[in-house]
Amino acid sequence: MAEENKSTIESARAWLSQNKLRAVGTLWLTGLAGSFAYNWSQPNMKTSVKIIHARLHSQALTLAALTGAALVEYYEHRSGEKAKRYEKHF
């Protein structure tokens, strides 16, 4: 069972490593939708404020995700994993 979890986690890590921008875009869209849903449940806010808050929340989440993607890219560059991945193509 531990081997199955490890392979699932490893496959998720590999997918995220190859699809960083897709993961960031999905996180942005999910954050925007979640923030809209939360803000629309607040009856005492104007519509314009709800939209601004949703945009700000998703923007902060996107910046955090981009920072994480940059750290993963830096780690791959330093460890040589990225070079190994592209080595088979050349």
Please tell me the predicted confidence (pLDDT) of residue 56.
93
Q: Is 50 exposed, middle or buried (0-12, 13-18, 19+ CB in 10 A)?
A: middle
Tell me the per-residue pLDDT of 4-53, one tens digit each, with 9 for 90 and over.
666 887 888 788 878 888 988 898 899 899 999 998 898 898 999 999 99
Which residue in 27, 24, 51 sits closest to 39, CA to CA?
Answer: 51
CB contact set of 54 (below 8 Å; sequence gap of 6+) = 32, 35, 36, 39
Residue 19 one-letter amino acid: N
